[in-house]
Each structure stands twice: as C-alpha cells, then as structure tokens.
A and B are shown apart, each in its own frame.
Chain A
Amino acid sequence: MARLNSVSDLDALRKDILSRRDPKKTKVSVCSGTGCRAYDSEKVIESLKSGLNTHGLNDKVDLVTTGCHGFCELGPVMVIYPEGIAYFKIKPDDVDEIITGTLSQGKVVDRLLYVDQEGNVQVKEHDIPFYKHQNRVVFGNNQLIDPENIDDYLALDGYQALATCLGSMSPEEVLETVKKANLRGRGGGGFPAGQKWEATRNAPGDVKYVIVNADEGDPGAYMDRSILEGNPHSVLEGMLIGAYAIGCQKGFIYIRQEYPLAVEHLDRAIEQMRELGLLGDNILGTGFDFEISVHRGAGAFVSGESSALMSSIEGKVGEPRPKYIRTSISGVHGCPSDLNNVETWANVPVIINKGVDWFTAIGTEGSKGTKIFSLVGKVNNTGLVEVPMGMKLHDIIFKIGGGIRDGKKFKAVQTGGPSGGVIPENMLDLPVDFDALDKVGSMMGSGGMIVMDEETCMVDVAKYFLEFLADESCGKCVPCREGITQMLHILKMICAGEGQPGDLELLEEVAAMTKECSLCALGQSAPNPVLSSLRYFQAEYEAHVNDKCCPAHVCKDLITYHIDPAKCKGCGKCLRNCAVGAISGTKKEPHIIDLDKCTKCDTCFMVCPPKFSAVTKLSGKESIA
C-alpha cells in the first residue's frame, strides 16, 4: 500500500476502492464474532468458501467475514446483500442449499429465516423486530466490514472525519463540535467527553496522552469487545481526532487480554494505518504526528478505573489513587491524560461526519445520541442492541428483545452491572438515559441490561454482585474492602437461611458507609445492587430472613427437590442422569428423591420432560407441607 501524503491522496484511494466495487454485486456477510464462533460459524465460513469455489461463484459473490451483527441468540448469522436476506442458526450442512438455492437462483431457504414468537416469518433483516426498532449509528457498519480489511472501512467513508478535522478544522473547532454534541462518556459515568478533552488540552505540559479504555469489566456487557472486534478503525479514527483536538502525539489502548480476537484485530488495524501513513509522522501531510501503543490488561476489574488504568499502563499494579488532582491534569507519567471508553471514541467520527445537529436530534435533553446495550438474561432475543437514548425500557425488552423466555413473567431488569441496580416492573415506562437511570437508583454503566424473570432471586443477585466485587476490590481502602465483605457476609447468611431480625437495617447502614467513604467508584457504587433491590423487593428479603423461604426457588440452602407422584410417569430419565444416585423408583412408577443424598445440582429438574414437569422445587412453608 502506498503512503497517503495528503487529504486528496485519501480521497483518491477511496475513489479507487469504490470504483473496483459493484454495489449491485451479491455480498454474503457472515458473523464471525466471538458469540457466533461459539456456534461454529468458522465451519460455516469454511464450507461457504469451498462451496463458492466448487460452484464457480467466486467472481459473482463476495464473501465477507465480519464482526458481531448483534443478534447473538440466533447465531451463526448471515445476511445476503443487496437484498438483505437474513439467515439464522446456520449449520455447515445448510451451506450447499444456500449456494445452489439463494446465491445461484435467488430462491430463499425458508427454514433458515427468522420466525417470531407468533409464528410470523421475515425474509429481510430490516423487517425483523429485533433490528427494526434499533438505530445503529455506531454498530451498524459491523456487518458490512471485514475488520481485517481497511479497504472495507475506507469504502464506508472511513477516515473521512479525520481528513475533515486535519484538513479544514482547527483543534479548537473540533473540540467545540464535540462539546456542542454533548457526547457523554459511554463507559458508565456519563461525564461529557468534550469537557474532559478541554481540561486535558488546557492542562499545563508539552506531553499529553489520549487513552482508549477497553477494559470492559462489567460481567454482563460485551459491546466494547464487539466494536473492537468488528470495526476497530472506527475507534482508532475517533482517538486520532481526539488527539488532534487535545494536542497529543501519543495514545494508549488498554484492552483486556481476555479478548484475544479484539487484540488481534486491533493490532492488524494499527499495522494497516501505519502502512497508509495514518499513524506516525506528518499524517496526511498535515503536520500532525501520532503514535499508538496497545497495553493488554491482565485481569483486574478495578483497573478499568481511570487512575488505576493509568498506573497499570506504567507496568504497575492497577490500583486507584485519590483524585484530588484529576487525571486530565496528571495521568500517565504525571502528564495530562484524557481517557474515554471505546464506544465514546467510536461516536466521534460519526459526529464529525454527520454534524452536531444530526447527532443532537437523537436522544433526550441531557443524553444525546444512541447507546449500545447487551440485552441478556431471561429475554427471548439475546444480543447487542443500539437504541436512541430515551427509548422506554419496555420497548427495549419487549419490542426488540421479544419478551421473556418460556412464557415466564417479567420481574426486573438490572442495568449498570456491579455498580448499577435493579428496576422493577412498574418502572418499565422509564426512558433510558443517563439521568433517568440515576434517579431510580441504578445507572447506565457500560450498557449491561440483564433481564430477570420470576425465577430470579433478587437477594441472590445482590449476593452475586457483591461476590464479584469482593473478589475485585483491590483492598487499598478499608471502607470498600471491609464494607463489601461485611455486606456479603450478611447476604450469605440470609441466603443460607440464617438471617436474623435487624440484618436488613444493618445492611443499609454498612451500605451507606461504603458508599460515603470509599476511595474510588468501585466502592462508592458497590452498594447499589443491594440498596436498589432492598428498595424494590424488600418483601423478598423478608421472606428469606423471617420465613426461611426463597420465593424464586434459587437459594440452594432454602429449597428441596421433590418429585410430584401425581405427575411422574416413571420414565427414568432423572434416575439415569442423577450423578449421586439420589433417585430411586421402578419403571412406570413414580420416582423418589432421597434428600440426604441429593446435592441439589438441578439435573433432574433440567431433564424431566416438559410434558410431565414432575420435578419441582419447594421452599419455606411449601417444603413442610
């Protein structure tokens, strides 16, 4: 690849790429993100490659291996353009029919199409409710781009925003644009990115840094990974624009080593940028110099905190420090450092290309643009969804998510991960933006949205988050280290049936102390999952403490497994599958569980055929009866 020495060189390259592409040509886009790979999408791609070869279709069809499309529930996912035909749950054996049917004769393979809960079939991707209600500003290009091929990004106006900034805008104008767009941090806090940029720009010092925070630690969110895996250049372009506005020559990308595919695609993208002269000295002949280095995190949730992350970049342990002096004044090596999240950076080129008015027309008064959520848990359509800020929770969960699995009843939705809270059913009309979520005791966080049904125990969920945080607290400050440990201890006792009167009040007291006195956001927000569930689901806590009952039948110490003799037909499935030999019975006669041997592993409950549903869980007074 020849080095680009000017903005017009970039335009010429883009024209050249586009001239070699026919928009009417059939393009098959297959998702090869981590989710689809778990469903063996790589085998599907291999079969496609060899099938296209055998049928002599290599010239007529472009095969694009892309990053995450978002609809992880039904992977592996394929979209055939220009028609937009979407196929789901593709097996390698289906490939031949796709080639001989759809790609050769335009015949749609019915059994691979999307069918909704009511049995309606949709051929085209944009008609599927999961996609129809989304607004994919940042995430939309994922399915059109081979993340390892910079040409694909350039063909979709890639690096156009950078060229505009370097070629015809002053750093001050770029800064003003991002400030006017009111782009708020997508990593959790929602702090205005423009203000952060400005503080770093105005801070004294010649050497300044920009940093991409890709240490996505919320154990229920994976949008940052999917952007980096699927469209790494969008983040890199945003970062370069930020560096230009702030006045930096060097940037860091801090990414979890648990995301090997994202690291690989990022490294490849950086290499390609270097080849084109989009990194290094005198980028596009404009006199702007910039270098990037990639740092892999070695597994520490707290290292996603800004001061901890910067200490980790310096090769030390990633512990937070008190922020009397902000990192925008004194960050990496004591130099002014601006840190923004992956999704925030990926929004920057969009704002420059489409303009402030376009961007601020999306969203609510205080939160502009879109947000990507990982819609997961007990919802029908699991996946990544990008919606305009202000969309109602109800619409996200029921219109896009298709409602609750297995016809169960909605109970709550958890947003904000370990720092967020649960939101009950009567608040489903809540418009989702930074401020509204804050007000009800939760937070936007990085965008985890975990849907819970009647079989989810809220006490257990609070315990779950505290277990995670107890493990991840760095232990530097006492309120966080001890506060989380003590709250966890109380919750463990409650879940074990050893809760005592006064426990809930004590829990609230410890929570208030932890919130007030902790050094960093990890500890300050750690009580949120407990406090919000106590606020909305107090009766469930009381049932655990007073009646030794887990109404959702989750807490192991409070439940027993039981086979209903009236329903059991003696098929023997549970008996054969029980790993500890706790089930006895003769064929075609009701079986019995020996509670002394039962380890409550749930296997019998799982394998009992749904037409019998003879295995039940009992708790509290139910067990005695």
Chain B
Amino acid sequence: MSYSLAKVDQIIDGYGADKEALVQILLDIQHEFRWLSRETLLHTADRLGLPMNQLYNVTTFYKHFSLVPQGRHAVSVCVGTACHVRGATRLLDRVAQGFKLSPDETSADEKFSLKTVSCLGCCALGPVMVVDGKYMSNPTSNEIAKVVEECE
C-alpha cells in the first residue's frame, strides 16, 4: 500500500496525539503500511512533539518495526525451542535457499520477506514454515520450491 500522511494523521488522532501512545501509534502505522518510512517518522515526531532520536530509539529497539519496505508475501520460519529440537535450523536453511533470502531480508522486487519467529504455538506441527498465514509442517526443498512458484 502506498503511504498517505492523511491515514497516518488519522491513526495519531485516534490516540489523541498522546506522546505515551508512541509505540501503539507506530504499531498501527506499521500494520497499515507494513513499514515505517522516514517521512512518516518525521511527521509523527512533529505531531507528537517528540525528538526524532526518540522515534529511532524506539523503532530500532523493538523487533516488529521495519524501516525498510516489506515484501508482498510474508514468509516466516518458527525457531521456537520445540521447533528447534525438531530441526528448525535445517528447515530455515532450506527455506533461505528456496526463497534466495537470508532471515530478515526482503527480495529486491519486494515480493518476499523472510523472518524468523519464536513459537507460534503450533508445536505439534514443528518445525513450521508459514507463508501468508498458511502453515506447512517441515516442507522439503521441493515443496518449498513449489510454494515459491505459486506466489504471484
């Protein structure tokens, strides 16, 4: 989705432009646009009357925030403890190989983003790969290649 500062303002106003709601505001903006642009951060800092360094402080501290655009397809591999003992490291290798991405990387055409997550609570399926909300239990290299092909 392309950025609209009007939408950003709407989110900020939803919290009454409260400084203390900074994390909540940024979460909503991140959710809406999948990343936080420099322009948005400057605008948010301005609206909340906060120094820009506080926004950088917060956005680089918490994992969920992304300061670069995210891919259209979200690929995640669970690296929680249960998945780890059941072979998540090998799965992550296969997924990285299949999607040609390292963890926390987005492809140049902004098609895929690969992330690792800690425990999705479906440990019985582990190790698990999730692509756009669809869960796959320990896929082989061939099965991963098929998913890559199917994504538009």
- A residues sitting closer than 8 Å to B (CB atoms) are 33-35, 38-39, 72-75, 217-222, 225-226, 257-258, 295-300, 312-319, 374, 376-378, 382-383, 414, 417, 448, 450, 452, 456, 461, 464-465, 468, 474, 556, 576-579, 599-603, 606-607
Contact = CB atoms under 8 A, between A and B. Distances in A.
A377 B123 CA distance: 7
Interface string B122-144: 11111010000001001011100
B98 A579 contact: yes
Given A456-B85, A579-B145, A599 B123 contact: no
B124 A35 contact: yes
Interface in B69-91: 79-82, 84-87, 89-90
Contact of A315 (B21, B86, B125, B142): B21
Given A38-B122, A315-B19, A603 B57 contact: no
B61 A318 contact: yes
Interface stretch (B4-12, B23-31, B106-114): B23-31
Interface-central residue, A220, A225, A417, A578, by most chain B CB under 10 Å:
A220
A298 B25 CA distance: 11
Given A378-B86, A607-B140, A257 B64 contact: yes
A75 B124 CA distance: 9
B99 interface: no
B101 interface: no
A417 B86 contact: no
Interface in B51-68: 54, 57-58, 61-65
Interface-central residue, B26, B90, B124, by most chain A CB under 10 Å:
B124
A599 B97 contact: yes
The range of chain B's interface size is: 35 or more
Contacts of A448: 81
Given A257-B27, A461-B81, 5 more contacts: A220-B119, A296-B24, A556-B89, A576-B142, A577-B141
A376 B86 CA distance: 10
25 contacts: A34-B121, A35-B121, A35-B122, A38-B128, A219-B81, A220-B81, A226-B121, A296-B27, A298-B65, A314-B20, A315-B24, A315-B58, A317-B57, A317-B58, A376-B126, A377-B85, A450-B85, A461-B85, A465-B81, A474-B61, A577-B140, A577-B142, A579-B98, A601-B97, A601-B141
Nearest to B26: A298
Contacts of B43: none
Contacts of B87: 602
Nearest to B50: A315
B63 A300 contact: yes
A468 B116 CA distance: 11
B123 A315 contact: no
Nearest to A414: B81
Contacts of B13: none
Contact of B123 (A72, A313, A314): A72
B119 A219 contact: yes
Contacts of A313: 20
